[in-house]
Amino acid sequence: MTEPVLSVRGLTVSFPGILGRVPVVRGVDLDVHAGEVLCIVGESGSGKSVTALAVAGLLPQTAQVDGSVRVKDTDVIGADAGTLRRMRGRDVGFVFQDPSTTLNPVLPVGRQMTEGQVALGLLPRREAGARAVELLREVDVANPEGRAGQYPHEFSGGMRQRAVIGMAMAGRPGLIIADEPTTALDVTVQAQVLDVLDRRQRETGAAVVLITHDLGVVAEVADRVAVMYGGRIVETGQVEDIFARPRHPYTAALLHSIPRMDTTDRRLDPIPGNPPSPAELPVGCAFEPRCSVGGGRPKCLAEDPALRAVEGGGATACHFWQETPPAMQPAEVRDAPSAPAERQTLLEIRDLKVHFPVRRGILQRVTGHVRAVEGVNLTVHAGETVSLVGESGCGKTTTGKAVMGLTRATAGDILLEGASVLGLKATDMRSARRKMQYIFQDPFSSLNPVKTVEDIVAEPLHIHGLYNEMGGAQRIAELFDLVGLSTSMFGRYPAEFSGGQKQRIGIARALVLQPRLLILDEPVAALDVSIQAQILNLLEDLQKELNLGYLFIAHNLSVVRHISDRVAVMYLGRIVEESDRDTLYDMPVHPYTQSLMSAAPVPDPVAGRSRERIVLEGEVPDPADPPPGCAFAPRCFRATGICRSAPPPFEQYAGSESRAACYHAGPLEPGQSRQRTGT
Amino acid sequence: MKQMHAILAALRGLLRQTGATLGLGFLGLIVLIAVFADLLPLDPLGQDFLRTLEGPSRDYWFGTDELGRDILSRVVFGARTSLVTAAGAVTIAALIGVPMGLIGGFFGGWRDAVLMRLVDVMMALPAILFAMALIAVFGRSQGAALLAVGITGIPGFARIVRAQVLTLRKRDFVVAVEAFGGTASYNMFRTILPNSWSQILVQVVVLSSVAILLEAALAFLGVGVPPPTPSWGEMLRTGKSYLHEAPYYAVLPGIVLTLTILAFDSIGRGLSRLIENPRDAALQGSLK
């Protein structure tokens, strides 16, 4: 076998903490060969990013790094700055998570892409311009000659990330490290970027280390997978083996806890508890406190298992790996969604429009409007979950905020239990707000940092003067119990809680006024997968118990399929398709829905890779200047002349539950999308 | 109760920094002495005509002035003048500036425009000239000096609070209060203000040192508190005429003044450092 491009042995990294050094990476061994894609998967705090930074020698001075890291023929640990710099320019390319902060905003993109090569003397300065154009062309940026001289703000997010990939590849490195390269991007753009990364990797034969938390992305691109937990690799293996026959209870539990697009009949099986903090690792196996296999056996409690090879390839760090549950375990079956007898209408949105004025010049004259929401109709019944799905900028959050009265509606009407909530007096609006509540995406910023969590949950009661009437501290304690928190946490501040706990606090606060309707704006998007499952299950239980109506806003199609009763797909301010969940997922008729579904990564390396994928061109247009006719036409594979002339009506699609706004609505025929997939 | 938590956390953070600890110590000493000056065997007004312009001795630790008054006593009572001016000025500035910043930042639009233009006007006033104009109208008094310093301190508070409101206004926890029906004033005073205490505290410290300097400057120009009330600036003013015969006369009060300003500044710097780089969770909660 050939020499690996990257070889890591016994890597340990620790950072200074309040009580001595905190071990973040505890003994990692890795080999990556040319032409191979290794995915490192793990939750936050598992040490995956630190491992990547250590490989590139990018850790700060305060980090204590031991072990050995070899990239080609460079020993990274202990190398001097000059050696490292040469190595990064020649042998290693790095792609960071957020393309909007990776690029320097005051330098033209083309110049940045070749800057490193020029500085290292690998590229003559006068050839830099031509090389930049070439690099941009290689990563599918349209009009590379014109684009090379532009600044990062003139690039869209997906284009920026492709430019960063081009930059990482500029020196034709043998190793590319990509740290969550698509996490900040929309699914259709993610598909483009993964496509480019995959193609460039095959063309250059580079080895790729891709770090991600998304098992769908792993299944899509990986050859080999390393699962990290608590600063160590707990399992490695070929991607098919990992997904089909996990050999570590953590891998199996992760697979059980993710919602899937292809199944709906099972309740999620979350991993209990939280990922360990590197400062407070258990003595024995780091996963033992959350493990379903260990069950408190003395060996697990006392001895941290070593990573050892097992028959059939791969390696696991578990004492009892033979007992690992299978990947597809029939978990607890969910109750079939029973059609409720009387379905009380909670929320009715009628032809809602929200326009934001665009002001220009010193006189601040209104020169145009951003049409964030352009005619949305939607109904939510009690006990029902209606989801709004779409990419960023499609107007789904604005719709939610307009319902809450946090954003002023321009036209249309919003009825809550039959009464309009638009144009209410301040006092009437306050009482209307008792019936509906909002749950925010980011649990880290939605809780007031200077209040104790008890006060945070009680705050709505105080505002409405209902604290004593609703039972005071007793009521708060009930709510803590309802969302699975302990009342012993009352006096603590939000900073002392983990993300999942904070989201529970946010849910408790939303429920304290006994609302009928919850508007959930990406409630699990900021959480680790194992915690996501806990929160989704909690939301399902609460809905059943309290007969709540949910307006669920999300971009993650698997989560939406799992939780929804009905789904509406939004594109550029309009609903393009709406149906009951299973009809929409089994037979989408709008080409945008079809593209979204095909772009979403599927956590199944066999079926996922064989399916037909539609990679959309371009990105969502600017809502201040939407294309004429159907807004999706410029990216659509079915578009014809009529699509560009007038917006299509929103109509029932014959023989189906679905309604869609498309002249050419219809199920996807095999091969149909091919004609325009080349980007 | 809640505020105590934040203050104690800030104090603990300050005491971890050498500079800020020294500053707090010196300032604490000055404040203690100023408050309990009456209990000390000091007499700032009594004159000993036989011993004028005398150097430091066992009887007069800081020496005596041209009228034979004890300079140490005058420095101690002068601290009162300085601290009262500073406290009064900061109170005026904060009581007017903080609500201005809250309202302007929270509502935006015309309210913001009007308030901020007002702030611009106040910023344009040179503090000393403005103070002298006030004194010309109201006569020499501690009140006039205090008012002048207070009014020129308003823009500092208004701007800092407005900037803080603008960053917090769109944060989810503020929107959340709106979503469950909290009124604008509830949000301003119960949500945003408690999250701005640390920034306000820094401004209090900064303005205190500015106020003390300004009060000294006015006295130095001869328009400060009327004699015979002791004031550090006044002592510098008369002391400078005797720099050759009695250097300690101006130098010792000058040193005390400098150290006091230094103490305020090191506390202010310590606080800013805490805001930028909070070490523990409690601090993160109270200062971020």
Q: What is the largest CA-CA distance in chain A?
A: 77
CA angle centred on A77, ends A73 and A78, rounded to 5°: 105
pLDDT in tens, A59-108: 888 888 999 998 888 888 888 888 888 888 788 888 888 777 888 888 88
Distance from CA of A286 to the nearest CA of B (A): 25
Least confident of A253-267, A440-454, A640-654: A253-267
Is there a contact between A450 and B173 if contact means CB atoms under 8 Å apart? no
Over 90: is that where the pLDDT of B158 sits? yes
Best B3, B110, B167, B172 residue to mutate vs chain A (most A CBs within 10 Å)? B172
Whether residue A446 lies within 8 A of chain B, CB to CB, comes out as yes
Residues of B in contact with A506 (CB under 8 A): 176
pLDDT given at position B39: 80
Is there a contact between B173 and A513 if contact means CB atoms under 8 Å apart? no
**Beta partners for residue A236, in sequence order:** A226, A315
Residue range(s) in chain A whose domain bears CATH number 3.40.50.300: 35-60+79-229, 345-564
Distance from CA of A440 to the nearest CA of B (A): 7
Least confident of A397-406, A621-630, B158-167: A621-630
Q: Identify the residue with better confidence: A247 or A330.
A: A247
Whether residue B172 lies within 8 A of chain A, CB to CB, comes out as yes
Write down the CATH superfamily of domain A345-564. P-loop containing nucleotide triphosphate hydrolases (3.40.50.300)
Give the burial class of A175: count Cβ atoms within 10 A of its Cβ; 0-12 exposed, 13-18 middle, 19 or more buried.
buried
Q: Identify the residue with better confidence: A568 or A618.
A: A568
What does the mean pLDDT of chain B come to? 84
Q: Can you give the three-state secondary structure of A64-100, one letter per residue?
A: EEEEEEEECCEECCCCCHHHHHHHHHHCEEEECCCHH
What does the mean pLDDT of chain A come to? 85
pLDDT given at position B280: 44
Whether residue B108 lies within 8 A of chain A, CB to CB, comes out as no
pLDDT given at position A263: 67
Distance from CA of A135 to the nearest CA of B (A): 39
Is there a contact between B180 and A513 if contact means CB atoms under 8 Å apart? yes
Best B173, B188, B286 residue to mutate vs chain A (most A CBs within 10 Å)? B173
pLDDT given at position B288: 33
Considering only CB atoms, A447 lies closest to which of B173, B178, B182, namely B173
Flag whether the pTM goes above 0.90.
no
| Dihedrals phi, psi of A254, to nearest 5 degrees | -60, -45
Checking ipTM against 0.90, whether it exceeds it is no
Over 90: is that where the pLDDT of B230 sits? no
Whether residue B222 lies within 8 A of chain A, CB to CB, comes out as no
d(CA A264, CA A140): 37
Is there a contact between A459 and B182 if contact means CB atoms under 8 Å apart? yes
Residues of B in contact with A449 (CB under 8 A): 173, 195, 284-286, 288
Which residue ranges make up each domain of chain B?
2-287
pLDDT given at position A518: 93
Q: What would the DSSP string read from start to end of A179-248? A: ESTTTTS-HHHHHHHHHHHHHHHHHHT-EEEEEES-HHHHHHH-SEEEEEETTEEEEEEEHHHHHHS--S
Per CATH, the architecture of A35-60+79-229 is what?
3-Layer(aba) Sandwich (3.40)
SS3 A462: helix
pLDDT given at position B53: 74
Residues of B in contact with A452 (CB under 8 A): 2
Residue type, A136: L
Residues of A in contact with B178 (CB under 8 A): 406
pLDDT in tens, A183-218: 878 888 888 888 888 888 888 888 999 999 888 889
Residues of B in contact with A496 (CB under 8 A): 281
pLDDT in tens, A437-450: 899 888 888 898 88
pLDDT given at position B91: 94
Residues of A in contact with B6 (CB under 8 A): 450
d(CA A217, CA A206): 19
Residues of A in contact with B183 (CB under 8 A): 426, 463
pLDDT given at position A186: 82
SS3 A438: strand
Write down the CATH superfamily of domain B2-287. MetI-like (1.10.3720.10)
Is there a contact between A513 and B177 if contact means CB atoms under 8 Å apart? no
pLDDT given at position A678: 37
**Beta partners for residue A554, in sequence order:** A389
Number of residue pairs across A and B with CB atoms under 8 Å? Answer: 79
d(CA B105, CA A49): 39
Q: Identify the residue with better confidence: A474 or A333.
A: A474
pLDDT given at position A367: 77
Mean pLDDT in residue range A584-590: 89
Extended strands (E) in B81-127: none
Reported as a pLDDT band with limits 50, 70 and 90, residue B2 is: low
Mean pLDDT in residue range B158-163: 94
| Percentage of the residues of chain B whose pLDDT score is greater than 90 | 22
pLDDT given at position A90: 83
pLDDT given at position B99: 94
d(CA A227, CA A314): 11
Mean pLDDT in residue range A113-138: 87
pLDDT in tens, A389-425: 988 878 888 999 899 888 888 889 999 888 888 878 8
**Beta partners for residue A374, in sequence order:** A353
Reported as a pLDDT band with limits 50, 70 and 90, residue A679 is: very low
Residues of B in contact with A445 (CB under 8 A): 171-173
The strand pair at A345-360 and A365-381 is best described as antiparallel
SS3 B185: helix
Over 80: is that where the pLDDT of A38 sits? yes
Is there a contact between B172 and A445 if contact means CB atoms under 8 Å apart? yes
d(CA B250, CA B228): 17
pLDDT in tens, B257-274: 999 999 999 998 888 887
Residues of A in contact with B186 (CB under 8 A): 463
**Beta partners for residue A32, in sequence order:** A6
Mean pLDDT in residue range A552-564: 89
Extended strands (E) in A423-486: 436-439
pLDDT given at position B284: 38
CA angle centred on A676, ends A675 and A677, rounded to 5°: 105
pLDDT given at position B208: 92
Over 50: is that where the pLDDT of A127 sits? yes
Q: Which candidate, A221, A153, A158, A218, places its Cα nearest to that of A193?
A: A158
Q: What would the DSSP string read from start to end of A325-374? A: PPSS---PBPPP----SS--EEEEEEEEEEEEEEEETTTTEEEEEEEEEE
pLDDT given at position A549: 92
Reported as a pLDDT band with limits 50, 70 and 90, residue A333 is: low
Is there a contact between B284 and A495 if contact means CB atoms under 8 Å apart? yes
Over 60: is that where the pLDDT of B286 sits? no
Q: Which candidate, B50, B81, B42, places its Cα nearest to that of B67?
A: B50
Reported as a pLDDT band with limits 50, 70 and 90, residue A329 is: low
pLDDT given at position A233: 92
Q: Which of A28-42, A158-172, B10-24 has the highest mean pLDDT?
A: A28-42
